[in-house]
Structure formats: structure tokens, C-alpha cells
Amino acid sequence: MSAAYRDAYSRINALVIVGEGLADSHFRLLAGLLPEDRDDLMRLAAMEGHHARDFSGCGRQLGIRPDLPLARRLFAPLHRLFREAVRSGDRVSALVIQCLIVESFAVAAYRCYQPVADPFAAPIIQSVLTDEAEHLEYGGRWLAAWFPEVAAPIAACCERAVPIVMAMLQSVRDDMKAIGIDPAELVGEFVGCFQAAIETVGFEPRQARGLVARLAGRA
């Protein structure tokens, strides 16, 4: 393993560990916001905690120390937007940010990492992907039940949150390349996954495509 690979991996691994740790805290906050689904949401939170520990193990296995402070800095704007939604009792935005946007981000990242994963990480990636699909579905189902009242608030939330994710991806472009991930492919996976989620919620395919492509800078 080259020094350049280890260096890039220390940042990517940290981003994944911090993202999973934040997902854990976000599902706990969602449990407070949606008391009727509390048990389910606490279970999803626990799954995220498990993911964070599993990915820490992946770095440890390679003898690489994750750059956690950098990852926390990179996730801060998205985490701030989520906390703002929780503080104002905005359940729609909180669900859109965690369950649709962050989870689509995770699915895209793990799908692209899968073909280049080391033998220790490969089975972990596989099982985590199954879990993330469940997290996406939870948010999709909840929002679909309130469609179309929630259409405008969902779109408004996407306007603010999707560009933040795009900026995060931009800032780790070179590190992705260094570990064998094509950044353009990851953006493509994110767009596909997020668009499908938006359609599940009730948007017309054409609307979903327009919204996502424009925000992801692919229009």
C-alpha cells in the first residue's frame, strides 16, 4: 500500500466513520421528533452506531489512523442544517436530510467502493448497504404518506442540502481517485439513488429528474 493511498484512506475512512456516527445521533434526534416511531428510529440509530464501529475496524485493520477532525469539519454544514430542522420541529426537513440525502450519499459511496474494497471490508460494505436501503425506505415511506402537502417543503430542503453534499464530494475528489473511486461515477450513483428516493415519495419522474439534476450540477 503506497503512502499516497494510506494518506487518502485516512481522510475517506474518517468521513465514513463520522458520517455513520452523525447518522446515529440524527436517528436519535428523529426519535424525539417522531415519538410514534420511537422504537423503530432507535433501532435504526443503533444500526448506524454499528456501522461506525465496523468502519473504524476497517481502518484499524489497515493500520491507518482516520483524520476525524477534518471529517467533522467537512460534515459540519450538513449536521448544522439537520440540527436547525430539529430545533424548529421541522420533521420533513430532518427526514429529507438524513433519510433521503445522507443515505443516498452513503449508498452511492459504498456502491462505488465495493469493487475496490479489500477482503476485510468487502463483507462489511455488503451488509451495510442492506441496512442503508432500509434507512432510505423509512424516510421514503413517511414522506410518501404526507405527499403532496410536503412536496414544496421537500424541494426547499433539497435546495439547501444537496449543494452541501456536492461541495463535500468536491473536497474529497482527489482522495477518492487515490483509493480507486471515480468521483464522476459516485456523483452519478448519488443522483440515481436520490432521484429514485424522490420518486418514491411521490414526485413525477420528470420533476424528480429536473430537481436532482439541477442541484447536482448536472443539468
Please report, as ranges, the residues that interact with ligand PL3 according to CB under 6 A.
12, 15-16, 19-20, 23, 48, 51, 102-103, 105-106, 109-110, 113, 132, 135, 172, 176, 181
Q: Is 132 in the site for Fe ion (CB under 5 A)?
A: yes
Exactly one of 26, 51, 79, 111 binds Fe ion (CB under 5 A); which one? 51
* Amino acid sitting at position 188: G
Spatial distance between the Cα atoms of 111 and 63, rounded to a whole number of angstroms? 23
Count of residues touching Fe ion (by CB under 5 A)? 7
Q: Please, are residues 36 and 8 in contact by the beta-carbon 8 Å criterion?
A: no
Smallest gap from residue 176 Cβ to Fe ion (A)? 19
Grid cell 429536473 in the structure block, residue:
210
Buried b (16+ CB within 10 A) or exposed e, 21-57: bbbbbbbbbbbebeeeeeeebeebbebbbebbebbbe
| Residue 54: contacted member of ligand PL3, Fe ion, none (CB under 5 to 8 Å, by partner type) | Fe ion
As measured in angstroms, the least distance from the Cβ of 20 to ligand PL3 is 5
Which one of residues 135, 154, 197, 216 is an interface residue with Fe ion (CB under 5 A)?
135
